[in-house]
């Protein structure tokens, strides 16, 4: 008699808690935001929605890297454990960044040093993505 283990194709009843879904959706969203940000930088000043979503080259590079990580986790055959643990870590990071951005949009001067400022749209996006990642990582199956 063999034990059955979840495979990459396994899903959970609660789709919000599905770490594989979290990684795939967040990866594509980040990739789209990165692409739009790069185009906005090339044709203008990075303003996508004034005072709501403004990106810099620093922002775009971070989005490309995070999109690659997320898509790799979602499509690259990462173990359930790796998906969950990484979702928790990234989720905490996003939540912290979102809250910090609400308090100080230039991250207490650090944003000025690295050319990264956070507008309300980005803060809300970070909080949403962070909350989802933390929830999926802590409670979800795959």
Give the CA angle between residues 18, 125, 100 to the nearest 5°: 115
pLDDT: which is higher, 105 or 134: 134
47 beta partners: 54
DSSP reduced 3-state for 96: helix
Average pLDDT of span 46-59: 76
State the Cα–Cα distance between residues 136 and 117, nearest whole angstrom: 28
Check: CB of residue 86 under 8 Å from CB of residue 138: no
Tokens of 87: 């979702």
* Residue bearing tokens 């993505």: 129
- Confidence bin at 1 (pLDDT 50/70/90): very low
* Domain ranges, ordered by start, for the chain: 15-135
What average pLDDT is seen over the chain? 84
* DSSP 8-class letter at 56: -
CA–CA dist 90, 93 (Å, integer): 5
142: confidence class by pLDDT, cuts 50, 70, 90: low
Residue 51: the pLDDT is 65
Euclidean distance between CA atoms 53 and 33, whole angstroms:
10
Q: How many residues comprise the chain?
A: 142
53 pLDDT band, cuts 50/70/90, is confident
Alpha carbon distance 15, 7 (integer Å): 16
Mean pLDDT, range 119-125, rounded to an integer? 87
Q: Which residue has the higher pLDDT, 33 or 107?
A: 33
Q: Note the pTM of the prediction, 2 decimals.
A: 0.79
Pairwise pLDDT comparison (141 vs 131), residue with the higher score:
131
Give tens-digit pLDDT for 9-18. Answer: 454 477 888 9
């Amino acid at each position: 008699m063999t034990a059955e283990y979840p495979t990459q194709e396994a899903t959970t009843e609660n789709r919000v808690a599905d770490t594989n879904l979290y990684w795939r959706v967040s990866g594509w969203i980040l990739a789209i935001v990165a692409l739009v940000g790069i185009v906005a930088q090339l044709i203008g000043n990075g303003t996508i929605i004034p005072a709501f979503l403004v990106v810099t080259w620093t922002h775009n590079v971070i989005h490309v890297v995070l999109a690659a990580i997320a898509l790799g986790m979602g499509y690259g055959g990462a173990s359930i454990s790796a998906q969950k643990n990484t979702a928790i870590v990234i989720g905490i990071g996003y939540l912290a960044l979102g809250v910090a951005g609400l308090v100080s949009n230039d991250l207490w001067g650090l944003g000025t040093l690295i050319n990264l400022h956070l507008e309300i749209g980005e803060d809300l996006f970070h909080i949403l993505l962070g909350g989802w990642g933390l929830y999926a990582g802590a409670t979800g199956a795959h």
